[in-house]
Amino acid sequence: MLAQSLKTPAGWVELLLTIALAWLCFYIAEHPAVRRSIENWRWRPLRHIGQRIFWPLLMFAAASLAQLAAKIAAYPVVWPQLLAMAANWMIGIRLVLAILHLALPQGRFTAQWERRLSGLLWGCFVLWVSGIDKIITDWMKSLSFTVGSNKLSLYTVLTGLLWVCIVMMLMMWLARWIDERLMSTQRLDMNLRIVLSKVVKSLFMVLSVLIALPLVGIDLTVLSVFGGALGVGLGFGLQKIASNYVSGFIILADRSVRPGDRLNVNGFTGYVGKITSRFVVLRSADGQEALIPNETFVTSTVINESYTGKALWQSLDVQVGYNTDLPRALAILTEAAAAQKRVSTNPAPNAFLTGFGDNGIDLRVGFWVNDPENGFLGLFSDILMTIWQRFNEEGIEFPYPQREVRILQDDNGETPAVLPVEDKEKPSETAVSESK
């Protein structure tokens, strides 16, 4: 019919009018006022889908009106039928790609991948219009094989995978919508929200397979064969992966590890930034990130420094001279720590005398930090600076390294050697010989 229409001038006029109609629909869809009205829609998924399918919807409506007008006028038309068919297929393509874009995480579905998938789907449209798809499907149906008591063909397997992907995209989109609602609520504990999110995603993935396979006529008993093979694989190669996956649910359920906790695992200290199905992300104060398998938190000893409370005990050592007023020095240490806003007042900071050193008296001030996630270097600097200023105001000296030197003389009053104090109990052989 298309070839016959191109042999007549009326057919060329009909073709040009159809192209003009498609261009007019594109002009209306891309008009700034129309685009702004669509962008003002509140629900983001509906806004994205509307931006993608508004033009083909206009083409389909215009082509349908053109066919209706031609039918009323009793004039047979061909090209508007093709335009309606192409618009209908474009709606399906863009709708699938828009749902895929919403279902996948941000940044996973790029414009390049969208163009590739669009080209693939348009190729399928061309095959369908030309009738080549019938030849391909008959060939795939002829390639059959037996799985247990069921007979499958290549066509059945491919259509089954296609339906699984489509249903899985819908399920992922629904799971993502539920996940956003769970994470935004404040009534549930964070660990409980993460557990519910993972359970919902896993449940929807299983449901997508259970729903899609019967749609193409595949009996679910076929999965028993693959289930046995999967069980053997889990027993050998996938044992660690399964263990980490189950351990992730365990640590979330018992709330032993929560986002924001300060952990020490195998000498690495950091804060829990993310809990995934396989590992936990720890971020240290200097920006390093460690991926700790979930199994480690179940089978090994993990130090959770913020299990019952996030405040941490820290201390600073200071040395003063032996002629120092110790009660006054201890009071200054306590006041310097208590003056910082990040230091807890209950329990309050405290100072202690820890020992008598070679050069001075050792003091220590201890305090609880309310927000250890903000680091300690700046806080330590502020406390030490305050101590230095207060000690200078009170006349308290920081001792310099001291060393006592003893000079030994012989019977003639000569000075044979100079010995440091640490060697006075055991002089060197040269000093003893010169002394004699």
User: Whole-angstrom Cα distance, residue 129 to residue 123?
Assistant: 10
Question: What's the mean pLDDT when you consider all of the chain?
Answer: 78
- Under a CB-based contact definition with an 8 Å cutoff, are residues 28 and 58 in contact? yes
Residue 135 has pLDDT above 90, yes or no: no
At 361, the pLDDT band (50, 70, 90 cuts) reads: very high
Is the bond into 399 cis (omega within 30 degrees of 0)? Answer: no
At 387, the pLDDT band (50, 70, 90 cuts) reads: very high
State the residue for tokens 């618009």.
Answer: 87
Determine whether domain 220-307 maps to CATH 2.60.40.3140: no
SS3 344: coil
Sequence ranges of the domains in the chain: 1-130, 146-218, 220-307, 312-394
User: Whole-angstrom Cα distance, residue 396 to residue 361?
Assistant: 12
What's the burial of 42, exposed, middle or buried (CB within 10 Å: 0-12/13-18/19+)? exposed
User: Whole-angstrom Cα distance, residue 243 to residue 295?
Assistant: 6
- Is the pTM higher than 0.85? The answer reads no
Q: Which of 223-237, 334-348, 422-436 has the lowest mean pLDDT?
A: 422-436
SS3 216: coil
At 432, the pLDDT band (50, 70, 90 cuts) reads: very low
Take residue 51 and report the two structure tokens written for it: 């931006």
pLDDT at 74: 76
Question: Cα separations (Å) of 348 from 60, 74, 374?
Answer: 74, 95, 20
Other CB atoms closer than 10 Å to residue 74's CB: what's the count?
6
Higher pLDDT, 130 or 370: 370
Q: Which of 3-12, 32-41, 411-420 has the lowest mean pLDDT?
A: 411-420
Residues 6+ apart with CB under 8 A from 395: none
User: Whole-angstrom Cα distance, residue 60 to residue 21?
Assistant: 11
Across residues 145-155, what is the average pLDDT?
Answer: 69
Residue 405 has pLDDT above 60, yes or no: yes
What one-character-per-residue DSSP string does 127-139 give?
HHHHTHHHHHHHH
Is the bond into 401 cis (omega within 30 degrees of 0)? Answer: no
Closest CA to 94 of 128, 150, 51, 135: 51
Other CB atoms closer than 10 Å to residue 261's CB: what's the count?
20
Residue 313 has pLDDT above 80, yes or no: yes
CATH fold for the domain made of 312-394:
Alpha-Beta Plaits (3.30.70)
User: Whole-angstrom Cα distance, residue 339 to residue 327?
Assistant: 18
SS3 395: coil
Question: Cα separations (Å) of 204 from 169, 172, 188?
Answer: 10, 7, 21
Residue 426 has pLDDT above 50, yes or no: no
